[in-house]
Structure 1
Amino acid sequence: MTNDVSTFILSLYKDGRYRPSTIGSSLAGLSRFLSANDHTTQFLLEIPVHLPREVKIIEIYNEKELVALKSTLSSERLTKRDTAVCRLLLETGLRGIDVCSLKLKNIDWERDCISIIQNKTKITLTLPLRASYGNDIADYILNERPLSGSDYVFLKTFAPFGRLGTASVYEIPKKLEQLAGIKKEGRPVGSRMTRHHAASFMLWAVIPMSDISAALGHRDPNVVSVYLSTDAISLAACTLPLPPVMKGGVLDAQ
């Protein structure tokens, strides 16, 4: 019957038993099945071309965890390279691949800014060079970075001293969490976590979402709305007051 296929697909979402990616991969098989018979080809029009994206709410670092992270970063328990990488990730929200691809020429020490072409979007992104991570980067370059002809800022520890890989940008923040005594099952680790953290802090600072989108290098400004889910205060401001309730014929304002 008409709408049976679309109704069935919607029911899979409502049940919550299947991820959108799982449903999407199964639709190709369903299309082939419906195409096999002249009586069922009419239902092909009911299969959606685009499925809703799965959006997960990610719990960011709480105040106690942030204190532990900052204390660990200041304790010199991490190498200078790893300290600079962690602070850069936490404060800018850069993608891991962009941190790995950062070159010496991308840092303008006179104008206090970092300018890169993002790997994902190919769009130029310019960020302020704050004293916090700027000093850490300088400390690494001057006092720990291996002698190398490489243009990349962050290099591997051992010869031939190639650029830092994306796997390391996952392991370095993970090591920071371990040293800080932070363990949270089910929460992402690495640049994905630090990206959410940086975006949420911008929201708390009442920075317009369009500016946050520009700082994070999003091609679609609407993507930033997912970070609102981590901000309980802003979410509370979006709630509507409860309507008056009648109790025994008497109006009771809630």
Structure 2
Amino acid sequence: MDTFFAELSSHLRPASLRVVGNSLRSYFRYRALLGESTAALVASLPRIADWRRTTLPKVLVDAELDAFLKAFDCTDPVGLRDYAIARCLLDLGLRGHEVTYLTLESVDWRSATLTISSTKSKRVQQLPLPVSTGEAIAQYLRRGRPQTVNRALFVRHRAPYDKPLGVPAIRNSMNRAFVRCGLRDRFCNTHVLRRTMATQLQRSGASVKEIADLLRHQSLDTANTYARVDLEGLRAVALPWPGSRP
């Protein structure tokens, strides 16, 4: 088994190796249900180290977040659009493709909710619409959104017109904001805003379950990484180092 995984490791990443290991464990459990002895095979499967969990999630601190939000020119239609997108990413933890599929009908102004219909779980979900997000979207609709027959909430301002804004364009607009506020050497893309939102929730007292629900994670394990951000809470439950003074 070691030779098999050593050969796989020459062309597979650790995440893919973990998938192979989990698949084999499931298969061996199935064979055990059929009456075969698979305990030795299960025991021989190596545990693949997950080095991603050795560091804290990279997020924006308060000063960096303030500089990032001020990097959008809200006197310009494109700046209004990009600022509204940034608020959706930051306040609601939306993914880039979820922003792309937002429509004018996604926003229920009376009940202050936002409907997400393109989640990774393929389920339609409703999220509360924060005041800051709603105000940014409203300003864009009133002063920035061009005349178009397209029902997408965020549309292109340059040719080809009447098209929704794609994920690469959303990513580029956030990267340009990072450049303008001097953070391009530390941050890029949109996922850092999602992680920042989750970290702020954890520091405000939200549980891992609440964070997972808002981020629309199907498994709590995915959101458990934010438990490592609570350094004060971890210090309270940490055991003394062996041999250290009490």
TM range (shorter): 0.7 to 0.9
Aligned to 2:189: 190
Q: How does 1:24-35 map to 2 (within 5 A)?
A: none
Q: Any idea what SS the aligned residue of 2:116 has?
A: strand
Label 1:144 to 1:210 Cα distance change in 2 as closer, same or farther (>3 A). Answer: same
Residue 119 to residue 75, structure 1, CA distance change in 2 (3 Å): closer
Q: Distance in 1 between matches of 2:94 and 2:197?
A: 9
Distance 2:135 2:185 in 1: 30
Residues 1:161 and 2:174 are matched in the alignment: no
1:224 aligns with 2:220: no
1:6 aligns with 2:2: yes
- 1:174 Cα deviation from its structure 2 partner: 1.0
Whether the 8 Å CA contact 1:204–1:231 is kept in 2: the answer is yes
Structure 1 CA distance for aligned equivalents of residues 118 and 74 of structure 2: 32
Runs of 5+ unmatched residues, structure 1: 28-44, 246-252
Residue 92, structure 1, aligned to residue 115, structure 2: no
SS in 2 for 1:224: helix
Matches within 5 A, 1:106-125: 106-125=106-125
Deviation at 1:192, TM superposition (A): 1.3
Moved more, 171-180 or 68-77: 68-77
- Compute the displacement of 1:240 (Å): 2.1
Task: Tell whether the 8 Å contact from 2:101 to 2:152 is kept in structure 1 after alignment.
Answer: yes
Question: How much is the aligned-residue C-alpha RMSD, in angstroms?
Answer: 3.4
On the 8 A contact 1:212/1:224 being kept in 2, the answer is yes
Contact 2:115/2:126 (<8 A) preserved:
yes
- Cα 1:66–1:231 change in 2 (3 A) is farther
Find the aligned partners of 2:108 and 2:19 in 1 and give their Cα distance. Answer: 46
- Count of aligned residue pairs for this structure pair: 221
1:167-178 aligned within 5 A? 167-178=168-179
1:104 match: 104
How far has the Cα of 1:136 moved from its partner? 0.9
Secondary structure of 2:173 counterpart: helix
State the distance in 1 between where 2:89 and 2:200 align.
Answer: 13
Question: Which has the higher Rg, Structure 1 or Structure 2?
Answer: 1
1:250 maps to none
Greater shift in the superposed pair: 137-146 or 47-56: 47-56
* Alpha-carbon spacing, 1:48–1:105, altered in 2? closer, same or farther (3 Å): farther
Give a deviation string over 1:146-193, Cα, whole Å, max 9, x none. 1111111000112422001011121121111111111334x5x22211
Q: Tell me the SS of whatever aligns to 1:138.
A: helix
**Do the aligned partners of 2:156 and 2:163 also contact (CA within 8 Å) in 1?**
yes
Q: Which residue does 1:20 correspond to in 2?
A: 14
Corresponding position of 1:128: 128
Instruction: For residue 126 of structure 2, give the secondary structure of its aligned residue in structure 1.
Output: strand
Q: Do the aligned residues in 2 keep the contact of 1:88 with 1:94 (CA within 8 Å)?
A: yes
The aligned residue for residue 201 of structure 2 is 202
How far apart, in 2, do the equivalents of 1:6 and 1:73 lie?
53
Distance (Å, rounded) in 2 between the aligned partners of 1:64 and 1:193: 15
1:38-53 matches, cutoff 5 A: none
Per the alignment, do residues 26 and 89 of structure 1 end up closer, same or farther by CA in structure 2, a change over 3 Å counting? Answer: closer
Match of 1:179 in 2: 180
Conserved? CA contact 1:55–1:226, under 8 Å: no
Q: 1:62-101 residue pairs with structure 2 within 5 A?
A: 62-73=61-72, 76=75, 79-101=79-101
Q: Is the 8 A contact 1:123 1:217 kept in 2?
A: no
8 Å contact kept, 1:86–1:172: no
Q: Percent identity?
A: 24
* Correspondence 1:55 to 2:52: yes
SS in 2 for 1:79: helix
